[in-house]
Amino acid sequence: MLVLMLEDIRKLVKRTLDGGKVDGVLALWRENGRVGPHLFVKGDDVSTLEIDPKYNLAAVAILALASGAKKIALIGRGCDERALVELFKRYQIDEDAIEFIGMACSAEQAQACECDIPYPTKIQFGEKVDGVVPNELKNVDDMSLDERFAYWRDVFAKCIKCYGCKNACPVCVCQDCVLEDPMWVKKGEIPPEFPMFHLIRAYHMADRCVQCHECEEACPMDIPLTLLYRQLRQDMKDLFDYLPGASDAKPPLTTVLEDEKLEEGA
């Protein structure tokens, strides 16, 4: 089935390129025996197109557009779509510059990412499967405060300050990152100060993390970053009925809405 889906996607990409409405199609391709991002342009051999492994292409789209392309199509998953939405909202990408072609993830992929929403809102390929709740989520929930602190302290002791989590994240778009400001995080220390480094990053992700898992995949130490970010995502939902990556809502932490009612007293 997957093979058929892949063939269909390749055909669609060819049609899209031939149609001439876009300057290119951002997807994955197999070259030199490995799979990575590629901007297909008219005339390219689409039989090299691949859909696995998962690479979040939203961040790559910024680069592809920086080359001067006016409009590109992007073959992506649920997390690509959500990341794009956040990037549109934050004026990083012009919404009209992207034609999103969505595919739903397989059950295996959803499991691999422990993804809560393994499909985009627009599904052109594949079939929707259920979201996954990581076992570890319950584990940390069940811990006492002290146990939890010890848990995270140990986990973050592994951090080698590669900034991979920041670099790989499609919605980490600040030019000057707080994590690099010596005011907040001491320079040159490995592991970096706990809890500063990781709490700051977590906080900054609260209203934008789209659970694409790129940070965790980029982490050489397999630190379960998305566990923490996922809890925050849930908080945003509970507190403000806001889910990052959902198209209509504005990020609540930096805006005050006209009709917002805040009760007095904290």
Minimum CB–partner distance for residue 175 and ligand SF4 (Å): 17
Alpha carbon 49 to its chain centroid, in Å, reads 21
Minimum CB–partner distance for residue 121 and another protein (Å): 25
Residue pair 81/100 in contact (Cβ under 8 Å)? The answer is yes
Of residues 14 and 201, the one with the C-beta less far from ligand SF4: 201
Does residue 133 interact with another protein by CB under 8 A?
no
Angle between helices 135-142 and 225-240 (to 10 degrees): 80
For residue 147, the number of C-alpha atoms closer than 13 Å in the C-beta half-sphere is 6
Of residues 103 and 179, the one with the C-beta less far from another protein: 179
Minimum CB–partner distance for residue 19 and another protein (Å): 18
Choose from ligand SF4, another protein, none: what does 75 bind? Cβ within 5-8 Å by kind.
none
User: For residues 185-224, which are near ligand SF4 according to CB under 6 A?
Assistant: 205, 209-215, 218-221, 223
Residue pair 184/203 in contact (Cβ under 8 Å)? The answer is no
User: For residues 230-249, which are near another protein according to CB under 8 A?
Assistant: 231-232, 235-236, 239-240
Choose from ligand SF4, another protein, none: what does 19 bind? Cβ within 5-8 Å by kind.
none
Does residue 6 interact with another protein by CB under 8 A?
no
Minimum CB–partner distance for residue 221 and another protein (Å): 5
CA angle 66–58–13, rounded 5-degree value: 90
How far apart CA 103 and CA 173 sit, in angstroms, is: 25
How far apart CA 86 and CA 205 sit, in angstroms, is: 12
Does residue 219 interact with another protein by CB under 8 A?
yes
Structure token digits, residue 21: 């409405």
How far apart CA 21 and CA 16 sit, in angstroms, is: 7
User: For residues 60-99, which are near another protein according to CB under 8 A?
Assistant: 60, 63-64, 66-69
Does residue 110 interact with ligand SF4 by CB under 6 A?
no
How far apart CA 119 and CA 139 sit, in angstroms, is: 26
How far apart CA 198 and CA 38 sit, in angstroms, is: 32
- Sheet strands (E) in 32-115: 34-40, 49-50, 72-76, 98-102
Of residues 10 and 54, the one with the C-beta less far from ligand SF4: 54
Give 35's strand partners. Answer: 30
Choose from ligand SF4, another protein, none: what does 209 bind? Cβ within 5-8 Å by kind.
ligand SF4
User: For residues 226-255, which are near ligand SF4 according to CB under 6 A?
Assistant: 226, 229
From candidates 12, 14, 17, 23, binder to another protein by CB under 8 A: 23
Minimum CB–partner distance for residue 21 and ligand SF4 (Å): 29
Minimum CB–partner distance for residue 51 and ligand SF4 (Å): 19
